[in-house]
Structure 1
Amino acid sequence: MSIELGHFALILAFAIACGSAVMGYAYWRSEGRITLFVRQAAILQFLLVAASFAALIQAFVTSDFSLLLAYNNSHSLQPLLYKVTSVWGNHEGSVVLWILILVAFGAAVAMFGRRLPNDLLNLVLATQSLLVAAFTGFALFTSNAFARLDPAPFEGRDLNPILQDFGLAVHPPLLYTGYVGFSICFSFAIAALITGRIDAAWARWVRPWTMLSWTFLTLGIAMGSYWAYYELGWGGWWFWDPVENASFMPWLAGTALLHSALVMEKRNALKVWTIFLSIMTFSFSLLGTFLVRSGVLTSVHSFASDPTRGMVILSLLAAFIGGAFTLFAMRASSLRQGGLFSPISKEGSLVLNNLFLATGLGAVLVGTLYPLVLDALTGRTISVGEPFFNLTFGTLMVPLLILVPFGPFLAWKRGDLIAVTQRLAGAAALALLVVIVIFMLSGAHISLAPLGLLLGFWVMFGAIAELVDRSKLGRIPLGESWRRLKGLPRTAFSTALGHFGLGLTVIGIVVTTAWQSELITTVGAGETITLDGYQIRLDRLDEDVPGPNYKADHGEFVITAPGGGTRQAVAERRYYVASGEPTTEAAIQTYGFSQLYLQLGEDEANGRHVVRVWYKPFVTFIWLGCLIMAGAGFVSLSDRRLRVGAPKPRRSAVAGAAE
């Protein structure tokens, strides 16, 4: 019965979303009851979809295989955590999760956007309701998660083995929160184009939602990268897979939107570009949805291979994005750019930042879609891989990284580039000195790695230099500098943290790529292999070790580090009972910020196993930098000056006006 109730709740949410969209668009100029209706409708949609999602979770947890979705994607022997994550480890369930996050953002605007002008709020919530209606209709008519089986099977088919991991509990919800969160920016853009309310206040309303979405998308991409690194057993952290690119493209667009909205808020400039980016960022989120669920791609990240569903999603994408850009074109003549500024200024640096991000986004888009377009038009199949993306995107990011430390030091409207260069001279000298010392100590060969390291340290030390400069450290007494540092707004710390994290990630990428080492060999019990001074002995090998819903070849290794000290590590090759598919569970040992990565491969006829070993120096910097960037987003959101809505007039001022 709970399945039918969940299905009915989703149908009811669909009906309310349709009604809210119609009323919001038809009477957007109205106040009072209309505004109250669309606000209450947004909250009610969230409650209904949450109830629908809870019904799915109950069916999976109780192994109710009369639900077709549970039968296809669950098994009674699965641990409880994986029964829950199986809800969104498939196409239909992930669509319901998408809708749940979509209505959650709509409800958040309804609850926390009370200070928004009523006409703007009506249109924002109407647009959100239209998105909810579209995706709920898609779920109900083409991707029904509540289909029943009669009679009910005794056992389920099990979830894809590589998805039976804790990473699936974290990665999709984080990623979807980022993806779907940009729908709020899209809704604000549509509302602004209809009302003509495109000013600094609008940017102030949009920026917190952009920051929140960008932060969660950063965490989602980082978690997905780490999941692929430790779960797939290939030892890599990024493959330029088309579905990986599909999440990276809205991140690039969202990063550009963050910087553009800042210029619009502070200087009332870049209005047209900010509106354009608000539409484009969500467009790339929808494009990612199409790529994952259309069947045009073959990837471990893909959920569906049904062309019919793909065409429906493509139609939704065309309708929303086409409609938004049609409205944008109709209103373009009435849009004004706003304040003027010199090319050498904070605004100018942010525009240049946007230019490089947009160009890099274009390179990733071309590399991702070109093989698909070529296949569709000519039938030829080609692969665009790592060399293309590294050459194009990597080259475009070099000038961007050089530019990053300059932005915070430049003044609004007109800046002094020579003065800023002098203030950053210490950071540049320190970065160069550190790189020289590293290469002297390591005896590294000449390559492009020094340039990458120099850029990473330059961005990191530039971020620190900003805080040092603003606190006047070394120019005034230490106590006063400390007071100035504590008095800085949280957005200043957010900017510094974000840039510092970016530099740290760049260093992790460069060092891991340039100096990692790899060994592939066969090993028998008791044998020892050596890599970069690490001695790895296969101490014991057990076959067909039973697990909850799998059997495993279980290898116990003893690792002796170059400086002494031993550790035990376990690597497995699992075979799942229901599907028979194999997966690998890598043994990863962290030494400082570096890692030794062991993967137990195929078994040989003579009782030996293939073992792959990687030593990855400072690889954890990649994800640590991403966590710092995401932390910078939360620091910015905690700034009380970053409010959602316009301040209400003071009581005394209103009373004085009345008198």
Structure 2
Amino acid sequence: MIAEIGHFSLALAFAFSLLLAIVPMVGAYRGHGGYMALARPLTYGMFIFTAISYIALTTGFLTGDFSIVYVANNSSTLLPWYYRITAVWGSHEGSFLLWMLVQAGWAAALALYSTRLPLTFAARVLAVMGIIGVGFYLFMLLTSNPFDRTLPLIPIDGRDMNPLLQDPGMIIHPPLLYFGYVGLSVAFSFAIAALLGGRLDSAWARWSRPWTLAAWIFLTLGIMVGSWWAYYELGWGGWWFWDPVENASFMPWLIATALIHSLAVTEKRGTFKSWTVLLAISGFSLSLLGTFLVRSGVLVSVHSFAADPKRGLFLLGFLAVVIIGSLVLYALRASKVVSHTRYELFSREVMLLINNVLLVTATVVVLVGTLLPLVHQQLGLGSVSIGEPFFNSVFFWLIIPFVVVIGIAPMVRWRRQKMAELAKPLFLALVLAVAIGIALPVIFADYVAGLAVIGLIMAAWIAITTVQELRLRIASREQKLPALVKLGRSHWGMVFGHVGFAVVIIGIALVQNYEVERTVRMAEGDTFVQAPYSFTFKHLNHREGSNWVSDAATFEIARNGKVIGSVVSEKRMYTIQRQVQTQTGLQVNPLRDLYIAMGEQLSDGSWAVRIQVKPFVRWIWFGGVLMAIGGLLSMTDKRYRLKRKQQTLQEASL
């Protein structure tokens, strides 16, 4: 019965999305207030029935209803209850139902908090969200129904959840990533609604920017958590591999980063209007492209789902409709938008434009590097490899001018800035950055790595220019501390975002150039020395869980002869799927990780053990958190609330 409730609710959610796509749009076209007013209740209905469908599937997992094919394929009676909840999104059908729940949730939130928007504009935005929903609900109902039955043969037990996903990181990674992916549909809907209404002005940008920032925050955190999960769960010790599925989330993030900066220019200066719309369209299109790559079977990855050509063809068609339709509308309307704002070559507008161009260039590089091997193979031209060396080398040359612009842009005024006024602080910042970047490795490292020096110089440049910008901003005020405190949340959001990016650069530069990796043969009682650390294999224990057994090795770690702790690394066998996974042992502090991963047992009873010393690796994820905090501060800036309130009062008086 639970499957029928879930399936019927999904069909009702589709019906609501279809009505949402049609009725408010017709109302906006005809100026019919009643039709437009239906947009919000239709949106709530779509969300409610999607939530009921999702709850039904979750109930099927918790109760072990193996009459549902999806539950039978992704759960078992031995699976702990908390992993049964996360198993709902452990494979294709359920993960897409989560996607739709997030999509409907974004639409419902938009309906709830869009009461201050003009009725016509809000109706168009929600109708576009409905159109997107129609495509996705059809995809689920026609090709990916999570409520298909196993009848008449109901298995006694299920096949269990993918062992790779039985991890706390996977409890939070997919929802965060989906909130980011799907959140870009809100920015897309705002852009399409603005094109339909011919209203590409600063008000549209101000309405859209908090929602875009929210999506960017979730996408940032989702990527960081995914990197962290791959680092400790896969046993290889890397934090990024330029995997096609990793790239599929990175490309929308790059475009979303460009978009939030471009929206700031459109909001404050009334320019970059057409460019901003194009970025909004591109961001959501890349999210759909990532969905196609993950679910179509055109690539193989630990992150991707099972191959199904029918699903891939449907997604490809939907992707084509969205991209072609939105670009045709863009071509028809955007050409009529003219910006009359003037600015000179050395101005904040130009700095942010350069920022955008570099981010879009980086996106194109990732897109080509990701798709070219796939296209090459699909055309029968053989295999071509584009991997980490290519991406690293290209991004190295792109990130240098990007960092230079990050340092200069906040210090430059809108419209025009005399270069002579900034020559001294920028020169001082450059000298200090170079000095710091060279001095730190000379003083603290065993050797000086050139790329690490460049990375530290870039990070120091961002940090110093950020401080310089704050100093210049309050220099003309008598009470400096109060002036600093009174800076808006949006400004502090920029500070946190830029400093967070500097922290990420420090982590990347140091771990990439100073990490140490050794694979050694060890038996109980053996000690391996990697100065100043020593690792002693103390003992091996047998452990059992609800659906796994493992050989767990305990290692004692000492620094300069003094014991600083112990870690456990496991070789775990999941009994139902008969898959072996490595559970990494980590001994961490803010300055370094000691990473131990068990390999295979050798013929003489000893083990292959991978030992890594990874300096500052956690700064990568900490920097991502700082960037997300910066986005949150910017999103909650009071100017959005004040202007919306003022608009409400104005509309009430009419």
TM-score strictly above 0.5? yes
The 3 A distance-change label for structure 1 pair 462 and 172 is: same
* CA distance in 2: counterparts of 1:98 and 1:490, whole angstroms: 31
Contact 1:113/1:645 (CA < 8 Å) preserved in 2? no
Unaligned ranges ≥5, structure 1: none
Q: Secondary structure at the match of 1:605?
A: coil
* CA distance in 2: counterparts of 1:565 and 1:402, whole angstroms: 44
Match of 2:192 in 1: 190
The 3 A distance-change label for structure 1 pair 66 and 643 is: same
Match of 2:325 in 1: 323
Match of 2:341 in 1: 339
* CA distance in 2: counterparts of 1:187 and 1:327, whole angstroms: 13
Aligned alpha-carbon RMSD (Å)? 1.7
Match of 2:455 in 1: 452
Matched, 1:471 2:474: yes
Q: Deviations over 1:564-599 (max 9, x none)?
A: 333011000111011101101100111332100000
Alignment match of 1:636 (pick from 620, 634, 637): 634
Match of 1:199 in 2: 201
* CA distance in 1: counterparts of 2:334 and 2:652, whole angstroms: 37
The 3 A distance-change label for structure 1 pair 620 and 460 is: same
Q: Secondary structure at the match of 1:404?
A: helix
Q: Deviations over 1:14-62 (max 9, x none)?
A: 0111112111222214353222211110111111101110111111112
User: Shift of residue 77 of structure 1?
Assistant: 1.1
Identity across matched positions, percent: 42
The 3 A distance-change label for structure 1 pair 122 and 645 is: farther
Q: Deviations over 1:129-188 (max 9, x none)?
A: 011111011011100001111232111101111111011110000000000000011111
Match of 1:279 in 2: 281
Match of 1:601 in 2: 599
User: Shift of residue 651 of structure 1?
Assistant: 6.2
Match of 2:236 in 1: 234
Letter in 1 for 2:197: T
* CA distance in 2: counterparts of 1:136 and 1:446, whole angstroms: 53
Match of 1:482 in 2: 481
* CA distance in 2: counterparts of 1:75 and 1:470, whole angstroms: 60
Matched, 1:506 2:505: yes
Letter in 1 for 2:133: V
Letter in 1 for 2:28: W
* CA distance in 2: counterparts of 1:466 and 1:42, whole angstroms: 44
The 3 A distance-change label for structure 1 pair 410 and 298 is: same
Contact 1:208/1:644 (CA < 8 Å) preserved in 2? no
* CA distance in 1: counterparts of 2:342 and 2:472, whole angstroms: 27
Moved over 3 A (4+): 424-427, 643-655
* CA distance in 2: counterparts of 1:427 and 1:447, whole angstroms: 20
The 3 A distance-change label for structure 1 pair 111 and 653 is: closer
Q: Secondary structure at the match of 2:400?
A: helix
After TM superposition, list the pairs within 5 Å mapping 1:78-157 onto structure 2. Answer: 78-150=79-151, 151-157=153-159
The 3 A distance-change label for structure 1 pair 341 and 67 is: same
The 3 A distance-change label for structure 1 pair 144 and 459 is: same
User: Shift of residue 476 of structure 1?
Assistant: 7.1
Contact 2:27/2:36 (CA < 8 Å) preserved in 1? no
Matched, 1:542 2:541: yes
Contact 1:253/1:357 (CA < 8 Å) preserved in 2? yes
The 3 A distance-change label for structure 1 pair 565 and 469 is: farther
Aligned length: 651
User: Shift of residue 643 of structure 1?
Assistant: 3.7
The 3 A distance-change label for structure 1 pair 639 and 607 is: same
* CA distance in 1: counterparts of 2:276 and 2:292, whole angstroms: 24
User: Shift of residue 305 of structure 1?
Assistant: 0.6
How high is the TM-score relative to the length of structure 1?
0.96
* CA distance in 2: counterparts of 1:585 and 1:353, whole angstroms: 41
The 3 A distance-change label for structure 1 pair 351 and 651 is: closer
The 3 A distance-change label for structure 1 pair 446 and 77 is: closer
User: Shift of residue 3 of structure 1?
Assistant: 2.0
Contact 1:342/1:414 (CA < 8 Å) preserved in 2? yes
User: Shift of residue 526 of structure 1?
Assistant: 0.7
User: Shift of residue 335 of structure 1?
Assistant: 1.9
* CA distance in 1: counterparts of 2:647 and 2:95, whole angstroms: 44
User: Shift of residue 231 of structure 1?
Assistant: 0.3
How high is the TM-score relative to the length of structure 2?
0.97
User: Shift of residue 649 of structure 1?
Assistant: 5.5
Contact 1:596/1:613 (CA < 8 Å) preserved in 2? yes
* CA distance in 1: counterparts of 2:610 and 2:145, whole angstroms: 43
Letter in 2 for 1:565: V
Contact 2:160/2:576 (CA < 8 Å) preserved in 1? yes
The 3 A distance-change label for structure 1 pair 644 and 317 is: farther
Unaligned ranges ≥5, structure 2: none
Contact 1:204/1:643 (CA < 8 Å) preserved in 2? no
Contact 1:364/1:393 (CA < 8 Å) preserved in 2? no
